[in-house]
Amino acid sequence: MVIRVFTQQDEVSVIALWGRCGLIRPWNDPASDIAQCLGSESATLFIASEGETVDGTVMVGYDGHRGWVYYLAVDSQKRHRGLGRALMKRAEAWVLEKGGRKIQAMIRSENVSVHDFYRRLSYEDGDVRLVQKWIRPYASPTQAPDETE
């Protein structure tokens, strides 16, 4: 297994993996997220692969204060073999290289298995609460153009 930086020829496989792992949301276009990541010096996307197969990913960014983890994904057939742990170790090393001292991830509250995964890696619940606001309304294909979430 090799962990390397994303290349453009990985895009279709990466997006398919994210779909299989349930990471894609209608309001986040994965191709746009990849393009934004690649266009920034403060973010990168790592791929875990064996040959031509993309088996795992982690997108990581650094905002000048802390690192942020996005799109951590491991193919269901490759889980429980240390691949997620290896991807996170690479993400943590990247944040340290950028000068960061802290790394964080946002996890959906219903995703219990991921909470347990991070706890096994010594991550702990933070003392902050996430608040959010849609400043550009999202319209799903089933919503009328004037409706917002």
Cα(91)–Cα(104) distance, rounded to whole angstroms? Answer: 11
Quick check: is 72 in a domain?
yes
Note the pTM of the prediction, 2 decimals: 0.87
pLDDT in tens, 24-79: 998 889 999 999 999 999 999 999 998 889 999 999 999 999 999 999 999 999 99
In a domain, 141, yes or no: no
Domain count, the chain: 1
Tell me, what's the pLDDT at 111?
83
Which residues sit opposite 85 in a β-bridge?
none
Is 59 a domain residue?
Answer: yes
- Whether residue 127 lies inside any domain: the answer is no
- pLDDT confidence tier of residue 148, bands split at 50, 70 and 90: very low
Whether the CB-CB separation of 54 and 31 falls below 8 Å is answered with no
Side chain identity at residue 77, one-letter code: Q
Tokens (6 digits) for 29: 């276009």
Average pLDDT taken over every residue of the chain:
90
Return all residues near 115 (Cβ < 8 A) that are at least 6 apart.
107
Separation CA 116–CA 129 (nearest Å):
19
Q: Inform me whether the pLDDT recorded for 145 exceeds 90.
A: no
Is 86 among the domain residues?
yes
129 within some domain = no
pLDDT of residue 139: 65
Sheet arrangement for strand 53-62: 2-5, 43-50, 53-62, 67-74, 103-105
Residue 142 inside a domain? The answer is: no
Q: What is the CATH number of the domain that holds 65?
A: 3.40.630.30
Q: pLDDT digits over 130-144, tens only?
A: 888 888 777 665 554
In this structure, the strands spanning 67-74 and 103-105 are: parallel
| Better pLDDT: 109 or 100 | 100
By percentage, how much of the chain surpasses pLDDT 90? 71
Please give the Cα distance from 56 to 79 (Å, whole number). Answer: 9
* Domain that residue 87 falls in: 2-120
How far is residue 101's CA from residue 65's CA, in Å, rounded to a whole number? 8
In a domain, 102, yes or no: yes
